[in-house]
A and B are shown apart, each in its own frame.
Chain A
Amino acid sequence: MSDTDRELRVSKIRNGTVIDHLAAGQALNVLALLGIDGSGGESVSIGMNVPSDKLAKKDIVKVEDRELSQSEVDVLAVIAPEATINIVREYEVVEKKRIDRPESVDGVLSCPNRNCITNADEPIHTRFSVLEDALRCDYCGEIVREEEVPTRLDVA
């Protein structure tokens, strides 16, 4: 992708996050993962199946006035390891968050095992170890497949 290209796409939002180079079809999963369904009033633009040099086709998500936290980036890395994340302030890219598949995902997902101690009122956060194609609860051992990750997001 050329610099002009990037500039054009990024320049469309003033403050917020641009999540680029998502595999085609991942945009909606990313929104689910971030808990964005429009009800929060965020201004969101989505590009789906956009032609790309790097990937044959890609998705792009731009969220106005929202900067992703590191734990959100971690979860994103599980379903979209190829994605790039740019934080934009006043139309400038001020930070590029590198996506690395994390070893664990802490405090972001809820455990699907209703009888897991993390679902009781105890002073702990969930923690999932990242396996090759799934996540695993460090407490009860429950396996969460990657495609189930968006439904386990524990956002307030």
Chain B
Amino acid sequence: MRQDHLISATQLSRADIEAVLDRAAEIDADPSALNGRHEGAILGLCFFEPSTRTRMSFDTAMKRLGGRTIDMGSVESSSVKKGETLADTMRVLEGYADALVLRHPSEGSAKMATEFVDVPLVNAGDGAGQHPTQTLLDLYTMRQNVGLDDVTVGIMGDLKYGRTVHSLAAALTNFDTRQHFISPESLRLPRSVRYDLHESGAQVREHTALEEVLSELDILYVTRIQRERFPDENEYLKVAGEYQIDAEDLEAAKDSLTVMHPLPRVDEIAPDVDQTEHATYFEQAHNGVPVRMALLDMLLSEEGDDR
């Protein structure tokens, strides 16, 4: 990787992505290969917003590399509650750790944090902005199941506030993919994501109904439509059903369709889909560890000890 920090999927080239995915595949094939490789190294977990899975996934990845983690704990119990700035918090934590992982509710927070720290920093989600490590594990899962070139991807749900969607859409432009975005009018992609897709010359189409495109898809990436995003409950109820899938809906899809979801899901994928060949979301979640191990290994190795 060219960078010391991973802030946005837009900074990743095809070569960067492939390097991480290849390394993750090596780790997957031989989980003990990197045992003790980063013994003594400390990763700081800075979660200003709760996310048990992402935090545990980074925690596991670091421990499997032989390192340790420190956790600033919940925001409620920290000095942030007393009004300390994010900049100050990060400057202090930088002194404790060899690398930092940041999850924060404001867009641009990870980018800002890199201006105050010298250790590698990984964005683990900034508001509605970006979530690049989720994207790396999504791509890893896609590559394992259908490949990353000449594929048709449908991304459905809350495209406006969904940071996993923003990161994934950007990363997919590095590959030969056709992207279909399926959402209610009010939750379409934001202008900035649209702008990048347009600039990259991506093949993009937008839909309000899944039926319009389902039969063409190799991958259906589902995200949750958040009820609280709708000013009016009735507006939500009108659209909600449109963006939920069950096993019967998927009979119209290709047999090889891969259904993904960053999890947690609520009711957008019915439990009867779990029993089908399409369901890939739990495998996807498990891929978080080898992918984050690969990434952390690369970022920590840049600090001097060449592999």
- For the complex, give the distance between the alpha carbons of A122 and B8 in Å: 21
- For the complex, give the distance between the alpha carbons of A124 and B126 in Å: 17
- For the complex, give the distance between the alpha carbons of A116 and B106 in Å: 6
Within 8 A of B (CB), among A115-156: 115-118, 120-124, 134, 136-143
- For the complex, give the distance between the alpha carbons of A116 and B112 in Å: 10
Q: Are A139 and B111 in contact (CB under 8 A)?
A: yes
Interface size for B (C-beta < 8 A) is 21
- For the complex, give the distance between the alpha carbons of A123 and B191 in Å: 27
- Given contacts A122-B112, A136-B192, A139-B107, are A117 and B128 in contact (CB under 8 A)? no
Interface residues on A, range: 10 to 19
Within 8 A of A (CB), among B187-245: 191-192, 195-196
Within 8 A of A (CB), among B125-153: 126-129
B115 CB–A CB distance under 8 Å: yes
Q: Which residues of A contact B127 (CB under 8 A)?
A: 115, 140
B109 CB–A CB distance under 8 Å: yes
Q: Are A124 and B112 in contact (CB under 8 A)?
A: yes
Q: Are B87 and A122 in contact (CB under 8 A)?
A: yes
Q: Which residues of A contact B85 (CB under 8 A)?
A: 121-123
- For the complex, give the distance between the alpha carbons of A134 and B104 in Å: 27
- For the complex, give the distance between the alpha carbons of A27 and B231 in Å: 39
Interface Cβ pair total, 8 Å cutoff: 61
Q: List 27 A-B contacts (CB under 8 A).
A: A113-B107, A115-B105, A115-B106, A115-B107, A115-B127, A116-B106, A116-B107, A117-B104, A117-B109, A117-B112, A117-B126, A118-B108, A120-B86, A121-B85, A122-B86, A122-B112, A123-B87, A124-B87, A136-B192, A138-B111, A139-B111, A139-B112, A140-B108, A140-B127, A140-B192, A141-B8, A141-B108
Q: Which residues of B contact A141 (CB under 8 A)?
A: 8, 107-108, 129, 192, 196
The chain B residue sitting closest to A121, CB to CB, is B85
Main secondary structure of the interface of B (DSSP, over half): mixed
Sample of 11 more A-B contacts, CB < 8 Å, known A139-B111, A141-B108: A118-B112, A122-B85, A138-B108, A138-B111, A140-B127, A141-B8, A141-B107, A141-B129, A142-B192, A143-B191, A143-B195
In the A-B complex, the 7 residue pairs with the closest CB atoms: A139-B108, A140-B107, A140-B108, A117-B108, A141-B192, A117-B106, A117-B109
Q: Which residues of B contact A143 (CB under 8 A)?
A: 191-192, 195
- For the complex, give the distance between the alpha carbons of A116 and B105 in Å: 9
- For the complex, give the distance between the alpha carbons of A137 and B127 in Å: 15
Which of A113, A118, A138 is packed against the most chain B CB atoms within 10 Å? A113
- For the complex, give the distance between the alpha carbons of A142 and B195 in Å: 10
- For the complex, give the distance between the alpha carbons of A113 and B106 in Å: 10
- For the complex, give the distance between the alpha carbons of A124 and B111 in Å: 11
Within 8 A of B (CB), among A54-93: none
Distance to closest chain B CB from A145 (angstroms): 9
The chain B residue sitting closest to A126, CB to CB, is B108
Distance to closest chain B CB from A61 (angstroms): 31
Which of A113, A139, A141, A143 is packed against the most chain B CB atoms within 10 Å? A141
Q: Which residues of A contact B105 (CB under 8 A)?
A: 115
Which of A118, A140, A142 is packed against the most chain B CB atoms within 10 Å? A140
Q: Which residues of B contact A137 (CB under 8 A)?
A: 108
Q: Which residues of B contact A134 (CB under 8 A)?
A: 195
Q: Which residues of B contact A124 (CB under 8 A)?
A: 87, 112, 115
Distance to closest chain B CB from A111 (angstroms): 8
> Which of A115, A120, A122, A123 makes the CB contact (< 8 A) with B128?
A115
Q: Which residues of A contact B106 (CB under 8 A)?
A: 115-117, 120, 140
